[in-house]
Structure 1
Amino acid sequence: MSARDAVYTGTHPLGLPRLHHRTIGSTNARAQALAAAGAPHGTLVTSAEQTAGRGRQGRAWATPAGTALAASIVLRDPPPLLTLAAALAVAEVAAALDAAGREPAIKWPNDVLLDGRKVSGILAEGRLQDGWAVLGIGINVAIDQADFPPELAARATTLGRRPDEVERALELLLAALERWLDADSATLLDAYRGRDALAGRVVSWDGGSGTAAGIADDGRLRVRGDDGAEHLLDAGEVHIGALPG
């Protein structure tokens, strides 16, 4: 059976089949091409080095050779809370592997933070009208903190592990994703709210500012605006301000 003829039956595990590259521009771009051609649910694209990865808001995401996990997974019939599930899975990996023992938090919707610094990049893309999405995840597993460029050093962090532990991070990630993609919404939201980095924080976005008031049942961010009204944010960049006095 060819990839184009493959049919997802609901039992295909994440990570199979797997296509690994020594270097690639974007694992997400490659996985999207495979998905459009009919690749089954769970198809995984990884690379030891990524030179033209993309993050949210069109930001570049580069993966130095052998120091970070770069993975993209084809998902058929993805769940509505996909990005929240992905963030929880990455947070589990960070909790298990962070050399400094820091507790991960999540800045809505899917920025996993250690001590306020971002340790991963998550980007979901696809054709929902065709029933598929590609979930791209990058995790700074073994990058030396001193090797981040100056413009990232204050905002990015690493798990501080050895390069030979990148594959272990992938194993943990796939197992965590299996669980959270299958979790019911109530369980997922309860766990996510337990790692919410924005709750009670002053935040601003394109169009206003206010105090983050948790995550709505549909995954949107609840904010009490400076005007007293409640806002539900479903997209866009949110900036963290100071804790209210």
Structure 2
Amino acid sequence: MTHHPTQSPQFFLTAPSPCPYIEGQFERKVFTHLVGDKAPELNDLLTQGGFRRSQNIAYRPACESCRACISVRILAGEFKPTKNMRRVSQRNADLIGALHDAEPSTEQYSLFRSYLDHRHRKGGMSDMTVLDYAMMVEDTHVTTKIIEYRKRGPDTFITGKGVGELIAVALTDQMSDGLSMVYSYFNPELEDRSLGTFMILDHIARARAAGLPHVYLGYWVNGSRKMNYKVRFTPQEHLGPKGWERYDHEAVTP
């Protein structure tokens, strides 16, 4: 009898480390490698099961005493923007997002560096070099794209010229059932534009146009104020013990 080797992924557990979101808590993660021809299919299954991708690693929280991290996905087809979100879209009507292959550039890194220095000076990514950034973008075995947001030029749709400076960037995985926002950053001096919100709204529009039902936002951490923005995009689903369940906005603790 011929023996066929299994292709099941191997999972590993990290050592405890201080939680970046909830003071006094410690986090652990379970992770596996996303490599080879089956990586896109595996990434789909794992993302639907609450994992996130970072380069060629898929991971999810496996903390011993805390379950605050909850996977969130927006129901793109049912989404209805709030009045404030419509104002954000209008405020950024002069921007255009161009889809590119996952290739880094010095212009991207310059914006990325400015974003980290202003927003995450003490974060785990604060010391990332240009090589680290290139690895974050390029080290993928799944269908990953870069969306660059620039000011719309007078002849953008004719010659491709006339576009302005790079204002925001999203690193996004294209999956069978939606778009997964891996990482996004923007010009921190343009706070009045609410560019983080705008990029999520743009991804919802892109998912709907492609007939994809979901936009995956990663983890919402109940109790972390800087994560509260994720639950404003409703309707959405949260992954719990019974699987993906529709989220009730009224049930959130302020």
Alignment TM-score > 0.5, same fold: no
Which entry has the higher C-alpha Rg, 1 or 2?
2
The one of the two structures with greater contact order (alpha-carbon pairs below 8 A, sep at least 6) is: 2
